[in-house]
Amino acid sequence: MSVETALHGALKDLAPTFPTITPQGVTTLPRITYQRVSGSDEPTYDGDGLGATRVRVQVDVWALDYPTARRLADQARAALYAGLTVGQITDNPSDYESDTKLHRASFDVEAWE
């Protein structure tokens, strides 16, 4: 199973969750978007030596106010630790988009496929 599939499965019950961007016409808040930002194959000495793929995915939580975005981001982090083989999670800068009037709490999760 890909990291993106596992990530979506872990987050979809918290809030509407979409890969890359929110589809046009969706206005439900809060919501979560995610995108794969990097990946690398890690060799091992086990079996065929091909190892595992380490993937980094950026997760963005969108809400009308920052406390809601932050609270849902914390819940998302806990769900990812419970549902994936997580290497680490790092925070990204929080943001406010004046054109959409939405607050964003963002983090990167590094996990293994």
pLDDT per residue over 61-107, tens digit each? 999 999 999 999 999 999 999 999 898 999 999 999 999 999 999 99
pTM, rounded to two decimals: 0.90
Residue 22 in this model has a pLDDT that exceeds 80: yes
Q: Residue 46: pLDDT band by 50, 70, 90 thresholds?
A: low
Is the Cβ–Cβ distance between 3 and 77 less than 8 Å? no
Q: Mean pLDDT lowest for which of 34-38, 39-43, 82-86?
A: 39-43
Beta-carbon contacts of residue 57 (< 8 Å; ≥ 6 apart) = 3, 4, 7, 34, 35, 36, 37, 108, 109, 111
Q: Are strands 31-42 and 95-97 parallel, antiparallel or unpaired?
A: unpaired
Classify residue 23 by its DSSP letter.
P
pLDDT for position 1: 74
Q: Residue 40: pLDDT band by 50, 70, 90 thresholds?
A: confident
**pLDDT tens-digit series, residues 47-61:** 665 677 889 999 999
pLDDT for position 2: 87
Place of tokens 């975005």: 69
Q: Is 90 left (phi over 0), alpha (psi -120 to 50) or beta?
A: beta
pLDDT for position 32: 98
